[in-house]
């Protein structure tokens, strides 16, 4: 399975780019999965639901299944957060997995950058960033710079990088 990341500061367009890339790769006939890292406490389950009651009772994993989708929730119960490699190993095989976040992991990435956000460019100190998708020119950068909205060009670059 090929992996490629999208990283960047808050509100720089990471999720929008991932969403457009998934659509683009699916149109091209590529099977795609995604992994999104959240820095905040997140819960896809709701209090009062049967699955939530199972978790609250102490279940380590709860599978929620319907005719449209299924999800596995794993409770860490004070264990350390799962590392990215473990999460990738748990996925079903696809041609490409796009990863949002995990900026310090060594997989190759595109950085999203918006000048108005006024955050330092990660690509200057992070060698796993192979290109930048920006809403404005960035003079002097020695890696490829893409228009943040040119999804096709970014998808071409990723395809070439991972040899899809």
DSSP type of residue 144 = -
> Where is 51: in which H helix or E strand?
helix 50-57
- Per-residue confidence (pLDDT) for residue 67, from 0 to 100: 96
Write down the CATH number for the domain with range 2-42+79-162.
3.40.50.300
Task: Please check whether residue 103 is in contact with residue 9, taking contact to mean a CB–CB distance below 8 angstroms.
Answer: no
For residue 158, the SS3 value is: helix
* CA–CA gap between residue 44 and residue 64 (Å, rounded): 11
In this prediction the pTM is 0.91
**Secondary structure (H, E, C), 69-81:** CEEEEECCCCCCC
- Per-residue confidence (pLDDT) for residue 42, from 0 to 100: 72
- Per-residue confidence (pLDDT) for residue 39, from 0 to 100: 72
- Per-residue confidence (pLDDT) for residue 141, from 0 to 100: 94
Q: Count Cβ atoms within 10 A of the Cβ of residue 90 and give its class: 0-12 exposed, 13-18 middle, 19 or more buried.
A: exposed
Domain ranges of the chain: 2-42+79-162
Instruction: Tell me the average confidence (pLDDT) per consecutive run of 10 residues in the chain, 164 residues long.
Output: 96 97 98 90 82 91 92 90 94 97 96 93 97 95 97 98 97
């Amino acid at each position: 399975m090929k992996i490629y990341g999208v990283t960047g500061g808050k509100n720089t367009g990471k999720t929008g780019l991932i969403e457009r890339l998934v659509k683009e790769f699916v149109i091209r006939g590529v099977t795609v999965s995604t992994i999104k890292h959240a820095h905040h406490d997140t819960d896809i389950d709701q209090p009062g639901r049967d699955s939530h009651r199972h978790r609250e009772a102490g279940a380590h994993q709860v599978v929620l299944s319907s005719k449209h989708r299924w999800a596995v929730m794993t409770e860490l119960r004070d264990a350390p957060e799962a590392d990215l490699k473990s999460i990738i190993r748990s996925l079903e095989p696809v041609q490409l997995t796009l990863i949002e976040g995990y900026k310090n992991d060594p997989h190759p990435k595109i950085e999203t950058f918006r000048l108005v956000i006024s955050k330092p460019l990660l690509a200057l100190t992070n060698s796993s960033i192979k290109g930048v998708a920006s809403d404005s020119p960035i003079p002097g950068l020695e890696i490829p710079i893409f228009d943040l909205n040119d999804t096709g060009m970014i998808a071409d670059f990723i395809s070439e990088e991972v040899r899809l």
